[in-house]
Amino acid sequence: DAGVTQSPTHLIKTRGQQVTLRCSPISGHKSVSWYQQVLGQGPQFIFQYYEKEERGRGNFPDRFSARQFPNYSSELNVNALLLGDSALYLCASSLYAYSSYNEQFFGPGTRLTVL
Amino acid sequence: SQQGEEDPQALSIQEGENATMNCSYKTSINNLQWYRQNSGRGLVHLILIRSNEREKHSGRLRVTLDTSKKSSSLLITASRAADTASYFCATVPDGREHAGGTSYGKLTFGQGTILTVHP
């Protein structure tokens, strides 16, 4: 079975531009979460979507938005890019939104560089 | 913000030795998970321990949890060069499982421990 997939693998943008990152969860998984990992730090939670509804949001500005489609894939959009948005963006999927056994499966990430 | 703090930040050992990493956190948790990350790519789930559990084993991995001290440790026995990676603890906060309650999709990660195992 395919794991979590993300596209593109790498992306280079300039300040002020907009970017869309894509994620396909493991088949059957209805929950998708997005994380930002700046070099040298642990991932930070951005959003969780479950059944196409936002179920959680981290401490990120409104420039960050996301959505989940009927097939449970998801997109993360970042507007008005700043240099500080350069990071590895990770997508994770899981079966449930709420479960004390909620193991999350991560994709390989999208490396975003803002120049 | 990072909830957990891993200790040490970096660990260098020889193959065959044991590696111990510690994690401390600040708030009450539902469960704590350990992940491995190779070369800045995706994270691999290693083990999940619930707040009412004290110890779990998985192959060469042993995880302990002390909720009174808000701390956890990950022990890798008989380490191999292939274990070289960054290791992160991640917590899921305590909360009721209902709409509008705790999002179990939200993992709060620590800064990580960089483990280097020399052949």
Beta carbons of A66 and A74 less than 8 angstroms apart: yes
Q: How far is B3 from chain A (nearest CA, A)?
A: 10
**Which tokens sit at A77?**
């959009």
Nearest CA in chain A to B47: A103
**Which tokens sit at B112?**
């990580």
Beta carbons of A49 and A66 less than 8 angstroms apart: yes
Q: Does residue A114 carry a pLDDT above 60?
A: yes
Residue B1 is predicted with a pLDDT of: 46
State what percent of residues in chain A have pLDDT above 90.
79
Question: Which residues of chain A are within 8 Å of residue B35 when distances are taken between CB atoms?
Answer: 106
HSE on the CB side for A33, CA within 13 Å?
A: 29
Residues with Cβ within 8 Å of residue B46, at least 6 apart in sequence: B33, B34, B35, B36, B58, B61, B74, B87
Q: Read off the pLDDT of residues B4-47 as tens digits, 9 standing for 90 and up.
A: 688 899 999 999 999 999 999 998 888 899 999 998 788 999 99
Nearest CA in chain B to A45: B106
d(CA B34, CA B70): 15
Residue B41 or A81, more confident: A81
Q: What is the mean pLDDT of residues A32-44?
A: 94
Within the 10-39 window of chain B, which residues sit less than 8 Å (CB to CB) from chain A? 30-31, 33, 35
Q: Is B88 on the interface with A (CB under 8 A)?
A: yes
Q: Read off the pLDDT of residues B96-106 as tens digits, 9 standing for 90 and up.
A: 544 444 455 68
Q: Do B105 and A31 touch (CB under 8 A)?
A: yes
Residues with Cβ within 8 Å of residue B81, at least 6 apart in sequence: B15, B117, B118, B119
d(CA A15, CA A29): 34
DSSP B17: S
Question: Which residues of chain A are within 8 Å of residue B30 when distances are taken between CB atoms?
Answer: 100
d(CA A96, CA A91): 15
DSSP A26: P
d(CA A101, CA A28): 16
Q: Read off the pLDDT of residues B39-75 as tens digits, 9 standing for 90 and up.
A: 878 899 999 999 999 999 999 999 999 999 999 999 9
How high does pLDDT run on average in chain A? 92
Q: What is the mean pLDDT of residues B104-109?
A: 79
Residue B66 or A102, more confident: B66
* Partner residue facing B42 (CB), from A100, A101, A108: A108
Smallest CA-to-CA distance from A74 within A1, A12, A17, A4 is with A4
Residue A99 is predicted with a pLDDT of: 59
